[in-house]
Amino acid sequence: MADGTLKVGTITTSSGSGTITLGQSGETVTIPSGVTMSGIGKAIANYFAVDTTERNSTSTSFTTASNTASITLTPAATSSKFALFSSFSIGNSGADKRSLATIYRDSTNLGSSGGDSCIISSFSTQANDKEIPAAMVYTDTPNTTSSITYSLQFKTENGSYQCYVARRGLISFNIIEYSG
């Protein structure tokens, strides 16, 4: 087909199911500004927080590790979806003890509903094992346009031992908002 404009109401495969390819390898498909698209999620905002301070706690309840590793945002629409990514090091001062991590949306723990209610748990095999690399990835659909705060929270399984976070490292927290 020569360069030009194709005007149609609907594009479907000849069988009614399958894949439709727009363009070829190495080409760019451009969507003009002002065009409203539906059915295709698009990244509409990116939020980032970082903290380089080592944190520790003997709390057996989840506590905010750092206010600088919390992100407050206002969703663009009730249909917005959020991809949450965090990386850090975690450990415990006790041998054979666990440290647990999760993400909260305001006062709601987004971790599992099981006994630990966490997204990850780290097991220290030796005392003062403080540098176990960890990451959390979570997708959330808060269904609101009110301001919300996502925070990284940590705890130790045994209050006689400390949970360590970001020992000689950092806590990074990235949130990408997608249109619904």
Per-residue pLDDT band at 38 (split at 50, 70, 90): low
State residue 169's pLDDT score: 78
State residue 1's pLDDT score: 47
Half-sphere exposure of 85 (CA within 13 A, CB side): 8
* pLDDT at position 142 over 90: yes
* pLDDT at position 21 over 50: yes
Q: Please, are residues 130 and 61 in contact by the beta-carbon 8 Å criterion? A: no
- Per-residue tokens: 145: 């346009």
State residue 4's pLDDT score: 65
Of residues 106, 110, 50, 101, the one with CA closest to residue 73: 106
Of residues 167, 173, 137, the one with CA closest to residue 57: 167
Domains of the chain, each with CATH number or no CATH: 43-178 (2.60.120.1340)
Q: What is the DSSP string of 118-146?
A: -SEEEEESSTTEEEEEEEEEEEE-----S
State residue 149's pLDDT score: 97
Measure the N-to-C terminal CA separation of the chain; round to a whole number of Å.
34
- Cα(84)–Cα(139) distance, integer angstroms: 6
State residue 2's pLDDT score: 58
Q: What is the DSSP letter of 15?
A: T
* pLDDT at position 122 over 70: yes
Q: Please, are residues 68 and 48 in contact by the beta-carbon 8 Å criterion? A: no
Q: How far is CA 23 from the centre of its chain?
A: 32
26: left (phi over 0), alpha (psi -120 to 50) or beta: left
- Tell me the average pLDDT across 127-146: 89
